[in-house]
Amino acid sequence: MCAELNRKAFENLSYGLYIVTSRNENRLNGQIVNTVIQVTSEPPRVAVIINKKNLTHEYISQRQQFGVSVLEEAAPLTFFGPFGFRSGRDYDKLSKVQFKEGTTGCPLVTQYTLSVLEAKVIERIDVGTHTVFIGDAVSSEVLKEGAPLTYHYYRENLKGKPSRYSPTYIPTK
Amino acid sequence: MCAELNRKAFENLSYGLYIVTSRNENRLNGQIVNTVIQVTSEPPRVAVIINKKNLTHEYISQRQQFGVSVLEEAAPLTFFGPFGFRSGRDYDKLSKVQFKEGTTGCPLVTQYTLSVLEAKVIERIDVGTHTVFIGDAVSSEVLKEGAPLTYHYYRENLKGKPSRYSPTYIPTK
């Protein structure tokens, strides 16, 4: 680790919080991320960054598609917490929430959700522990008006911690 | 354009606002972006997405390094507006603001800034109108405490518009 790196500096970057979903045949999965970003306007393309250890990484890699639910600030930690701190390998995360099937077949969580998007992967970049998936948006819909849940709000008001597999996790040594 | 795409759905994604800088020999430049994102924690890596038409794209491509200033909410539009709406080809944007030279030689704007980062590019991905530059963080520093400027705050409180070259620009037809 370079001595000139202050990890606190990274905490000032701003993010939203999203549920990213995918499917593998009939198995559905989703996880919380703070790493959805629009990369071009014309055509509308989005990127999502996923830890290689996550089941969603496996599903997106296979199916080359993903769904995104943009959560609202009113979403309680009890609702989205399991999407961040439990693995889809031993728990059906979609069983406890409302969702619909998108045009790609990915489940789209609709509860506490402002808008949903779906994307088909056109490129992937290995960045070490994580992969950046870049996708063409193939559907997008606004479900309700409201304030988007941000990572800042999650930390300040819900006293939330980053997942161990998040790009913004700060290791304690 | 797919009929099922509602552009409004993308407006719920959350971003911060940053000045990204680079240099080309003795010429310095910077621009406003909402596209800085941490992609891995170990090692700390960041991505920034830049329009190919921007001078910063040319400078980062040549020098393979960039600087980031995380702006504070108190930053007035008169301060950072020129970084978004003027081109460094005909205007020396750094001439009117306080900055210091980083370890990479990139200028780091220090005014209205919570923290600064520098990165060396390790990978670039062509995503069409824009390039995703991925860099290893080589320095990072907290300059002050405060609330980060978000894209949402910029739109709601400063009545700011997206730049034509932003990934989040919505074309009006």
Q: What is the ipTM of this complex?
A: 0.92
Residue A39: the pLDDT is: 97
Single out the residue of A95, A21, A26, A80 nearest to residue A54, CA to CA. Answer: A21
Question: Taking CB atoms and an 8 Å cutoff, what residues of chain B touch A39?
Answer: 35, 49, 127, 130, 132, 167
Residue B84: pLDDT over 50:
yes
Task: List pLDDT tens digits, range B100-110.
Answer: 999 999 999 99
pLDDT tens digits, residue range A120-146? 999 999 999 999 999 999 999 999 999
Residue B172 confidence class, pLDDT cut points 50, 70, 90: low
What pLDDT is recorded for position A172? 62
Mutate to test the interface with A, among B2, B19, B41 (most CBs of A within 10 A): B41
d(CA A115, CA A139): 11
The distance in angstroms from the start CA to the end CA of chain B is 12
B170 touches chain A (CB under 8 A): yes
pTM for this structure?
0.93
What is the per-residue pLDDT for A98?
Answer: 97
- Chain-chain contact of B125 with A128 (C-beta, under 8 angstroms): no
- Return the closest-CA partner of residue A14 out of B120, B147, B167, B74: B147
B70 closest CA partner among B13, B151, B132: B151
Per CB-CB distance under 8 Å, the chain B contacts of A70 are: 9, 12-13
Out of A127, A129, A151, closest to residue B134 by CB? A127
Q: Do B142 and A9 touch (CB under 8 A)?
A: yes
